[in-house]
Amino acid sequence: MSAGTGSVVGGAVLAVDEAPNPWIDPSYVVDNWDSILRYLGEHVRLTVGAVVLGALIALPLALLARRSRFLAGPVLAVSTIVYTIPSLAMFAFIFPFTGLSATTVLIGLVAYSLVILVRNFLTGLRGVPDDVREAARGMGYGSAALFWKIDLPLAMPAFITGLRIATVSTVALVTVGVLVGHGGLGQLILGGFNANFYRAEIVTGTVLCIVLALLADVLLVGAERLVTPWTRAGRA
Amino acid sequence: MRESSRQTRVAAQWHHGTQKAGRKDMRARIRFIAPAVLALALTTACGESGSSGTGGDEDSTAASGEACAPIAGDQLVVLDDDKALQNADNIIPAVNAQTASAQPALLPALNAVSAALTTDELVDLNAAVDVERQSAEDVAAGWVEENKVTDGLEQGSGPITVGAADFSEGIILANVYADVLNAAGFTATVAEPASRNLYLEALKAGQQIQVVPEYLATVTEFLEGNDETAVASGDVDETVAALEPLATAAGLVFGEPSEAADQNAFAVTQAFADELGVTTLSELADACGDGSLVLGGPPECPTRPFCQLGLEDTYGLKFASFTELDAGGPLTKAAIQQGEVSIGLVFSSDGALAKG
Amino acid sequence: MNAFEEAIVYLNDPFNWTRRDGILELLGEHLAISVVAVLAAFVIAFPIGVFLGASRRGGGSVVVVSNVSRAVPTLALLTLFAVSPIGFGNRATTIALTIFAIPPILANTYVGVRGVDADVREAARGVGMSRGQVIRRVDLPLAMPLIMTGLRTAAVQVVATASLAALVGGGGLGRMVRLGFGQQNYGLIIAGALLIALLAVLTELVLVLLTWAVTPGPKRFPWNPARRAAVAPGSEPTAAGMPL
């Protein structure tokens, strides 16, 4: 072969919009079950990882902030500013350091869930009545016992509220990770867009995202009921 | 409802907190934000125009007329590349050199694909995915089976990752390669689609990606790296010869080029073509001397010799502006149709051509 | 030169600000979309919130709307619009953002108006004010802090999510980030991200000042220390606040 074949003759017409493009297409889901599950898995892993890591960092921070008035101010101020930074910008800032990886998305998600959780944890801890803590200390409770037996159970409703807000927000935020190629279900949403505006793919990604968020919320409400049975009595 | 009363209670707590905390937060915000804003303001826009290299020192690109402003329309038509700007962009397998020497069965398997693939088949594959919405994996597997590409292949073994460009044709080709390699005894998987900058770097390193389906002329120019000179041409053999030393220098090995090719092509709406009476790019250059053409294409187009640079150098086209869209995908076609851009980059193996 | 230094160089060049599709043009586009979306959402959500709050009805549905809207990713709505007849121009982006701005304004207005002390309202009725006057002269001023919180949350959210429109063919400052990724221009990515973050923070600041100005009651300047005992935290993320 000495000449490239396949050159386009001028005047070739591109018919752009002919095939049907239904919004809901069960055959899409059936055909692409593997990749859907893969993205769903990534989405769940990122969400759970971010909220758990956020909680692990937020709790000590909240305890510190409760103890020291001096620290509470900067912690809350910095968290407000971080909270205001849009997610696209946040992931873009982290990208030069960790590249096109799930780690980039995870760091950003941890930052946001941290911010939400610190506030709610602090509210919860501050909501524990001082006289109860005094009484417990008078009975000889050490710091650890004070935390596990008094603070944690009484602050649990506020903690779980924070976890619910953080989880639902995180599920939505993971989708912005498409910026660095790790958006979980967001890859279906943007991928469908790039694949010739494939509506069924986009709708699948969207619906799964919403279902995941609501499911997580319901699970956390259930967890709260399990962990704080005493709050059920006495509710109007 | 329990839910609503708790939400209201919590919200009321926040409300109470708002008034007291508002002032404290405001002070904190001012303390943190004001210096940052000041610092940023001092660094913005006080350098020399053009200091960032985006072109401020060139002649103004303002259009002196409106002759070639975008015209919306439903039908798209490709303008003829009469000066043969586009070159031999035949499909050719690119393999990491170390992997190729360690796995002698690799290249023969990929060359079997090159031998069997034609442009028409490529267009049909694209149509099946883009228009009929079949999955790239199924379409690739179907083609491999139909063309009996896997008969009598040398057997190899080991894991291979095939890289994919981030458009459907690239993904289809990657899957074809993976299927054939699997039939040849390897354990082949397809990587997450990425742009050429990314997957070529990974291919050179050889850890994340070892094989990639490439386009002969484009990859030759890319490896050469110099936008001023052109080493690729419309002649396949010449281009392959030019590619060899570049490949060795980059630690890559290329297989046999296929008959199937996919070049850049440029499309306008039928209404635009009729209005200006143009069917070729040269005619477009004559009709649009006032520089009011708006170009649409992938983000890297302004720096590519077969995209904006080539159009400007070979045809003398002048553009009022460039809008970054996608690589011949739905965004570009929609943008041309909607009159966002006058002319946009599409691909010569676009699935929609199957019907035309 | 690392990405952040490249970004400073990029921002330093006035050509990047003034050229076609330059920073000023994108910023104008971004602001126009945001302002229209917030105003439209306010016009829609505020009357409903006031009505529901004053008549103390519909609390459940307000909460449900809030929760569900927090669960829907903005990118999904923008993409769905982009592939529907609505398209992916600035108008489509504005519609999508309006939809997302409604829940915070609705929820906060409702909670604010509803939270007005029943005694105060009764006193007002007792003095002879009509229902409308009670709303205008009692409910609204007392609910103003929460109403403004809702407006502030909505505004920051809109400015933030407008940056996502560029991922699906829209305009605004997000285009800089997308172009940066496409051209492997790390400086451009960071420059775009800096501008987006700054715009969001400035929006928050402007609205905080506006809230302070509009809230009735004795005004203390922010640099005078407020000698209050315990400062209750959690004034920010409200019912539908999410960091998008």
Same domain? For B37 and B153 the reply is no
- Residue B196 falls inside a structural domain: yes
Domains of chain C: 3-214 (1.10.3720.10)
pLDDT of residue A95: 93
Q: C-alpha distances in angstroms, A31 versus A36, A201, B253?
A: 10, 11, 35
Q: Is A169 an interface residue toward C (CB < 8 Å)?
A: yes
pLDDT of residue A1: 32
Would the CB atoms of A89 and C244 count as touching at under 8 Å?
A: no
pLDDT of residue C244: 39
pLDDT exceeds 70 at position B20: no
Give CA–CA dist C168/B139, Å, rounded: 27
Q: What are the per-10-residue average pLDDT scores of chain A (236 residues)? A: 38 59 86 90 97 95 89 88 93 92 95 94 90 90 87 90 93 94 93 87 94 94 87 59
Q: Which residues of B touch C222 (CB under 8 A)?
A: 23, 26-27, 30
Would the CB atoms of B133 and A198 count as touching at under 8 Å?
A: yes
More confident residue, C231 or A194: A194
pLDDT of residue A234: 54
Give CA–CA dist A214/A207, Å, rounded: 11
Q: Could you tell me how many CB contacts below 8 A there are between chain A and chain B?
A: 152
Rg of chain C's alpha carbons, rounded to an integer? 21
Full domain range(s) for residue B147: 91-254
Q: Is A75 an interface residue toward C (CB < 8 Å)?
A: no
- Residue B64 falls inside a structural domain: no
pLDDT of residue C63: 84
Residue A41 Cα to chain centre, angstroms: 14
Same domain? For B247 and B101 the reply is yes
Comparing CB atoms, the residue among B13, B74, B130 nearest residue A196 is: B130
pLDDT exceeds 50 at position C229: no
Q: Which residues of C touch A205 (CB under 8 A)?
A: 76
Q: Is B319 helix (H, G, I), strand (E, B) or coil?
A: strand
- For chain C, the maximum distance between any two Cα atoms, rounded to a whole number of angstroms, is 71
In contact, B199 and B207? CB cutoff 8 Å = no
Residue B35 Cα to chain centre, angstroms: 41
pLDDT of residue B14: 40
Domain CATH number, residue B240 = 3.10.105.10
**Domain C-terminal end among B202, B237, B254:** B254
Total structural domains within chain B: 3
Domain CATH number, residue B335 = 3.40.190.120
Place of tokens 């905390």: B21
Would the CB atoms of B237 and A81 count as touching at under 8 Å?
A: no
Residue A178 Cα to chain centre, angstroms: 14
d(CA B191, nearest CA chain A) in Å: 12
pLDDT confidence band for B44 (50 / 70 / 90): low
Same domain? For B111 and B213 the reply is yes
Q: Which residue of A has its CA nearest to C197?
A: A85
pLDDT of residue B37: 65
Q: Output the pTM of the full model.
A: 0.81
Q: C-alpha distances in angstroms, C213 versus A206, B23, B129, B269, C219?
A: 40, 12, 58, 54, 8
pLDDT of residue A88: 94
- Residue B166 falls inside a structural domain: yes
**Domain C-terminal end among B196, B224, B254:** B254
Same domain? For B182 and B230 the reply is yes
Comparing CB atoms, the residue among A15, A74, A194 nearest residue B355 is: A15
pLDDT of residue C221: 60
What are the helix (H) ranges across A21-151?
Answer: 26-31, 33-67, 69-84, 87-98, 102-126, 130-138, 143-145
pLDDT confidence band for C204 (50 / 70 / 90): very high
Would the CB atoms of C193 and A190 count as touching at under 8 Å?
A: no
**pLDDT tens by residue, B275-331:** 889 889 899 888 888 888 999 998 888 887 788 888 888 888 888 888 888 888 888
Q: Is A39 an interface residue toward B (CB < 8 Å)?
A: no
Would the CB atoms of A169 and C163 count as touching at under 8 Å?
A: no
pLDDT of residue A90: 95
More confident residue, B348 or A114: A114
Instruction: Please report, rounded to a whole number, the percentage of residues in chain B having pLDDT higher than 70.
Output: 80
Place of tokens 């519609």: C95
pLDDT exceeds 50 at position B13: no
- Residue B54 falls inside a structural domain: no
**Average pLDDT value for residue range C28-41:** 96
- For chain A, the maximum distance between any two Cα atoms, rounded to a whole number of angstroms, is 94
pLDDT confidence band for B34 (50 / 70 / 90): low
Q: Which residue of A has its CA nearest to B28?
A: A77
Domains of chain A: 28-226 (1.10.3720.10)
Q: Is A184 left (phi over 0), alpha (psi -120 to 50) or beta?
A: left
pLDDT of residue C236: 41
**Average pLDDT value for residue range B140-148:** 91
Give CA–CA dist A124/A217, Å, rounded: 19
- Residue B185 falls inside a structural domain: yes
Same domain? For B96 and B157 the reply is yes
Same domain? For B194 and B281 the reply is no
d(CA C29, nearest CA chain B) in Å: 15
